[in-house]
Amino acid sequence: QVVGGKVKKPGKRGRKPAKIDLKAKLERSRQSARECRARKKLRYQYLEELVSSRERAICALREELEMYKQWCMAMDQGKIPSEIKALLTGEEQGKAQQNSTKLAKAVKTEANSSNP
């Protein structure tokens, strides 16, 4: 067959498969299988750790929810739980501390700007 002045041989295109040593091919296959199993093992370990961390988080959130339910039941009975009182007093102290910090910064800035 002549195409564009060149003689073309009939048959398959591309590379011809090289003669591969059967033992080498089997060894490569075994190595690939070992690597695949190792990747699979790592993936499962990662997923197990992820599941256990999520389960711990769920337990912690359930405990927190139960605590809030108990607080609500106590407040429905007219009692203020000591934890809420502590939060409120801590919040008030935090606001007072923030205000004093802001005042100290303002005084410091004023002193720095008035000194040449």
Task: State percent of the chain over pLDDT 90.
Answer: 44
pLDDT of 9 reads 60
pLDDT of 115 reads 47
> How far apart (Å, rounded) are the C-alpha atoms in residues 91 and 99?
12
Amino acid (one-letter) located at 26: L
Can you give the pTM of this predicted structure?
Answer: 0.51
Question: What confidence tens digit (pLDDT) does each residue in 53-86 have?
Answer: 999 999 999 999 999 999 999 999 988 888 888 8
Cα Rg for the chain, rounded, in angstroms? 37
More confidently predicted of 55 and 14: 55
Most confident of 9-13, 16-20, 69-73: 69-73
Token pair 């102290």: residue: 93
Q: Domain ranges in the chain?
A: 20-76
